[in-house]
């Protein structure tokens, strides 16, 4: 009984982890290649979710909704890059923080203006709802399992893209030396727009996938953005491998901590205060994890020098 509960929670943690990876991958690529910190990445997550909800409401097709989330977020990302972001590559981090914070205000209020303040709902399609039996006698929601598989597939695809393709080689070269790849005749501004749009599309997809479990609303991207920051600080900024490791670590820690810490506290406290103390500690757990990792490795698990 309890081991089934534990396994179920581990799967939930994995599910959160792969979603965080989709967010963190874009952030860390953009930082690694362009040296840019983008606070507005959470807005792209939100754009993806809203696009999916709108298209699903229109056509009734979940698949089309997912495609719309990818397309809308990629387009918003490319636009963002062309209009604002590319003016920021040579600026200091303070300017990047402020300009992308301004973008959040514009995106959030703009979305509120277009869609109103009430949450939208994106339904899990019939063919993906309901539980599925896994070996070991676990009943687990099919949709969540699908999310995990999609996330892992994308992670694998991303590793392949970076390790094997021309674009991947250019991305890696860009991390090492911008002038070098410009000298090799790569159109660097096109490459940057492409990388940015790719990261945006992943964030948008994550927004749509999660939007079907939670609600689709303004500001939904920000808690995820901050978790994604924790992920890449833990993993090491610029490292895709680090993003994956960090995402899984954060996803598992957050999920398991939230469920089991109150139970742990209940062993030696009265139930009411155990629940609240456990919940309080659980809410801080990933930050404590981050602090602990930083004490040992200031530039993250897979980071070089910062």
Partner 1 sequence: MMTRESLLNWAMIAALLIVPLAAWSLDEPFIITLATKAAILALAGVGLNIALGLGGLISLGHAAFFGIGGYAMGILAAHAQNYEPLFNWPFLFEGSNQMPLIWLVAVVLSALAALVIGALSLRTSGVYFIMITLAFGQMLYYFAISWSAYGGEDGLSIWVRNEFPGLNTLDPIQFFAIAYVILCLALFFAARLAASPFGLALAAARQNEDRVEAVGLTPFKLRLAAFVISGAITGLAGALFADLNRFVSPTMLSWHTSGEIMIFVILGGVGRLYGPVAGAALYILLEHLLGGISDYWQIFLGVLLLLIVLFARGGLIGAIAGREKAHG
Q: Which residues bind partner 1 (CB under 8 A)?
A: 31, 37, 84, 87, 93-95, 97-99, 101-106, 108-110, 112-113, 222, 226, 229-230, 232-233, 237, 276, 279-280, 282-284, 287, 290-291, 294-295, 298-300, 306
**CB count in 10 Å sphere of residue 182:** 15
Query: At its nearest, how many Å lie between partner 1 and the CB of residue 248?
Result: 18
Q: Which is nearer to partner 1, 75 or 285 (CB)?
A: 285
Query: At its nearest, how many Å lie between partner 1 and the CB of residue 35?
Result: 9
Q: Which is nearer to partner 1, 206 or 290 (CB)?
A: 290
Q: Which two tokens stand for residue 126?
A: 């019939």
Query: At its nearest, how many Å lie between partner 1 and the CB of residue 219?
Result: 9
What is the residue whose two structure tokens read 């709902």? 121
Query: At its nearest, how many Å lie between partner 1 and the CB of residue 103?
Result: 7
Pairing mode, if any, of strands 131-134 and 138-141? antiparallel
Q: Which is nearer to partner 1, 151 or 300 (CB)?
A: 300
Distance in angstroms (rounded) separating the CA atoms of residues 153 and 141: 19
Distance in angstroms (rounded) separating the CA atoms of residues 118 and 194: 33
Q: Which is nearer to partner 1, 141 or 257 (CB)?
A: 257
Query: At its nearest, how many Å lie between partner 1 and the CB of residue 1?
Result: 28
Q: Which is nearer to partner 1, 68 or 103 (CB)?
A: 103
Query: At its nearest, how many Å lie between partner 1 and the CB of residue 96?
Result: 9
Q: Which two tokens stand for residue 34?
A: 């362009």
DSSP string computed for 268-304: TS-HHHHHHHHHHHHHHHHHHHHHHHHHH-TT-SS--
Q: Which is nearer to partner 1, 123 or 222 (CB)?
A: 222
R_g (Cα) of the chain, nearest Å = 20
What DSSP element (H or E) covers 131?
strand 131-134
Question: Among candidates 205, 223, 225, which has minimal Cα distance to 30?
Answer: 225
| Contact criterion met (CB below 8 Å) for 208 and 62 | no
| Contact criterion met (CB below 8 Å) for 39 and 104 | yes
Q: Which is nearer to partner 1, 93 or 164 (CB)?
A: 93
Question: Among candidates 238, 227, 223, 228, which has minimal Cα distance to 301?
Answer: 238
Query: At its nearest, how many Å lie between partner 1 and the CB of residue 126?
Result: 35
């Amino acid at each position: 009984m309890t081991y089934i509960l534990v396994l179920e929670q581990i799967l939930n943690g994995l599910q959160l982890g792969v979603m965080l990876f989709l967010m963190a991958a874009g952030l860390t690529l953009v930082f690694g290649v362009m040296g840019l910190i983008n606070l507005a990445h959470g807005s792209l997550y939100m754009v993806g979710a809203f696009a999916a909800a709108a298209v699903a409401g229109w056509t009734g097709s979940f698949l089309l909704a997912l495609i719309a989330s990818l397309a809308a977020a990629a387009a918003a990302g490319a636009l963002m890059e062309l209009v604002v972001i590319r003016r920021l590559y040579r600026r200091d981090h303070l300017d990047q923080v402020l300009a992308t914070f301004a973008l959040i205000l514009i995106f959030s209020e703009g979305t509120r203006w277009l869609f109103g303040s009430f949450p939208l709902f994106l339904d899990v399609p019939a063919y993906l709802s309901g539980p599925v039996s896994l070996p070991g006698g676990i009943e687990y929601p099919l949709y969540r399992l699908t999310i995990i598989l999609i996330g892992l597939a994308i992670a694998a695809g991303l590793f392949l893209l970076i390790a094997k393709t021309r674009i991947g080689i250019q991305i890696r070269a860009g991390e090492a030396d911008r002038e070098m790849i410009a000298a090799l005749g790569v159109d660097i501004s096109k490459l940057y727009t492409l990388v940015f749009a790719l990261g945006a599309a992943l964030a948008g997809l994550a927004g749509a996938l999660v939007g079907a479990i939670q609600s689709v609303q303004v500001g939904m991207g920000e808690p995820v953005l901050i978790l994604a920051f924790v992920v890449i600080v833990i993993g090491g900024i610029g490292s895709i491998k680090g993003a994956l490791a960090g995402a899984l670590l954060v996803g598992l820690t957050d999920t398991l901590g939230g469920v089991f810490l109150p139970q742990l506290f209940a062993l030696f406290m009265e139930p009411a205060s155990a629940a609240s103390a456990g919940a309080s500690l659980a809410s801080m757990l990933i930050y404590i994890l981050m602090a602990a990792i930083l004490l040992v490795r200031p530039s993250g698990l897979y980071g070089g020098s910062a």
